[in-house]
Structure 1
Amino acid sequence: MFTKQGVVMETFSPLVLCIAAASFVTFQCLYYFVSPWISALFCPGYSRLGPRHTIEWNSRTVSTVHAMIVGLFCIYILLFDDAVNEDPVWGNPSLVKKNVAITCGYLLSDMLLLCFYWRAIGDKFFVIHHLAALYAYYYVLSIGMLPYFANFRLVAELSTPCVNQRWFFEVLGYPKKSFPNMANGIAMTTSFFMVRIAVMPMYYSRMYAVYGTEPFYRVTFGGRCAWIGPSFCLDIMNVMWMHKMARGCIRVLRSPGNVKVGTVQNGKVH
C-alpha cells in the first residue's frame, strides 16, 4: 500500500497472520498425528518402515496435502480472480495473500521438521529454498505486490503429489516396471511439464508486458530482486529436471520386461 507521499507501507493484516499460524499448527498436526494414523490404516507397509523412512514418509504426506490445497486454490484464482488477472502487479491480492499465507505456514512447519530431524531429512538446498520463498512472499503478504506472479509460481505445486508418490512406491519396494509405478511415472512427467514448463511462455509474456510500466516502477527494489532473478534461476532448474525426468521415463518405457501389477507383502512387492 502507498501513502499520499508514495511511500510503501508494509503491514501484515491480522487475518493473514492468523491463517499462517493456523496453517503452521495444522501441518504440524498432520505430521505428528494424522499421517501416522492414516498411513498405518491404509498402507500395511508403513508400519514396517524404519525410523528414517517413517520420518520422511510423514513429511512427504504433509507435502502432498499442502500441494493439493494450494495448487487447486491457485487454479481457482487464475480462472476467477479478475482483479489479479487484469492487474498482475497491484491487483487486489486478498485471495492470493490467503493462499500464500497457507504456504508460509507450511514452509515454517517444514523447516522446523528439517532442523529437528536433520539426520533423517535435513537438506541445505531445501532450507535455502524455503528461506528464499519466505523472503519473496514477505512482499506479497506485507505490501500486496505482484499477486499474479506469486500465485502463478505456486501452480507448480501440482506436480508435487506425483513426485512424492514415486518415493512412496520406491520405499515400499515397487519395481520400476510395475504398473502403478509406470502410471505414476507418466503422470509425474506429464504434470511436471504442464505446470512448470508449458506455462513459461505465459508467465514471461506477462512479465515482459508489465516491465518498464508505471506499476512496475512502483515495485520496490527488493521486490524486483525477489521476483525476476529467482524466476529465471528456478526455471533453468526446472528445464534441467524436466530433461532428466523425461529421459528416465523414456528409458523405463523402452526397457525390456513385462509390466506387472505388484502386490505388497511384508512391505515388499511380489
Structure 2
Amino acid sequence: MDIKSYQSHAEGFVKHYLLADPFLPYTSVLTGIFLSKMAYDLTESFSSIHIKSYSALTKMKRIEWNNRGISTLHAIFISLMALYFVFFSDLFSDQRGLHGLIVFRSSLLSSFGLGVSVGYFLADLGMIIWLYPSLGGSEYILHHFLSGVAVAYSLFSGEAQLYTYMVLISEVTTPEINLRWYLDISGLKRSKGYLLNGVAIFLAWLVTRIILFIYMFYHVYTHYDQCNELDVVWQDSEGVDENSSEKI
C-alpha cells in the first residue's frame, strides 16, 4: 500500500506540476541540464571501461570526449523528436481540423522537447565558457547562444515550433561528426569505418542541411499568409507596450 501511495503521489506531482503548462518550460529546461550531466557521466563511465584508447588521452581530451557524448545523445533525442513532429505527428498537419494557425500550434510534448534542447545548449555553453578555449572558440559560443535563444523563444512563446523542429533535424549530422573525431583521436583515421562515416556525413549533410532547408523554405512560401501573422503579433505586442508607456 505504501508503494502504491507513493507512486500515486509521484504521478500526481509529475502531472500537475512538472508537466503542467505554467511549469513545463522551466522543468523541461532543468531536465535538459540534468540529462546533459547524466550523459557526461555515462560517457565517462562507459569509455573508461570499454574503450582502451580513452585512458591514454590527456585530461582535456577526455573532457572533450565526454562532452561530445552529451552532444551526440542530445542530437539523437532532438532529431527523433523533430522527425516525429515534422513528418509523422498530426499537430502541424494541414489535413487535420485543428483550431489555430500552424505557426501558433504547440503541445506539451513539443514544448518539452524544445525545453530539453534549451537545457542542453545552456549546459554545453557553460562548459565551453568554463573551459574556454579548450572546447571551442568564440564561434562555438556564438552558435550555442543564438541556437539557445532561438529555441527558447519558440518554447516560451509557442510560436513557429514547426519550423524550429525543421531546423533541429539538422542535428542528424552531429553524431557522425563526433564519430569522426572519436575515430581520429583513437588512431583510426585510415580505417574503413572512418571512410564509411565520411560518406554518412556527406549524405546526412546533403539531406538535412540542403534538401530539407529547401523543403522548409517551400513550406514557408506555401504558408506565407500564416507566417505573416507572426509579424502581426509582434507589432501588436509593440503597440501594447507603447500604449502602456503612454498611460504611465
Range into which the TM-score falls when normalised by the shorter chain: 0.7 to 0.9
1:13 aligns with 2:22: yes
Say if 2:128 and 2:136, in contact at 8 Å, map to a contact too. yes
CA RMSD of aligned residues (A): 1.9
Question: More helix by proportion, 1 or 2?
Answer: 2
Aligned: 1:91 with 2:91: no
Task: Give the 5 Å matches for 1:107-122.
Answer: 107-122=121-136
Question: Which of 187, 192, 204 is the matching residue for 1:191?
Answer: 204
Q: Does 1:69 align with 2:64?
A: no
Q: Which moved more, 1:145-154 or 1:86-95?
A: 86-95
From 215, 236, 245, give the equivalent of 1:202: 215
Aligned partners of 1:145 and 1:219 also within 8 Å: no
Q: Residue 59 of structure 1: which of 55, 60, 67 is its match?
A: 67
- Percent identity (aligned): 23
1: CA distance, partners of 2:136 / 2:198: 25
Q: 1:179 aligns with which of 192, 203, 208?
A: 192
TM-score, scaled relative to structure 1:
0.72
Does residue 24 of the first structure (1) align with residue 37 of the second (2)? no
Offset of residue 123 of structure 1: 1.7
Aligned match of 1:137:
151
TM-score, L = length of structure 2: 0.78
2:48–2:54 Cα contact (<8 Å) kept: yes
1-structure distance, mates of 2:151, 2:233: 14
Structure 2 SS opposite 1:83: coil
Q: Answer yes or no: is 1:78 the counterpart of 2:86.
A: yes
Q: Which residue of 2 aligns with 1:50?
A: 58
Gaps of at least 5 residues in structure 1 are 1-11, 224-270
Return closer, same or farther for 1:85/1:124 CA change in 2, 3 Å cut-off.
farther
| Contact 2:33/2:123 (<8 A) preserved | yes
**Structure 2: unaligned runs, 5 residues or longer:** 1-20, 95-100, 238-248
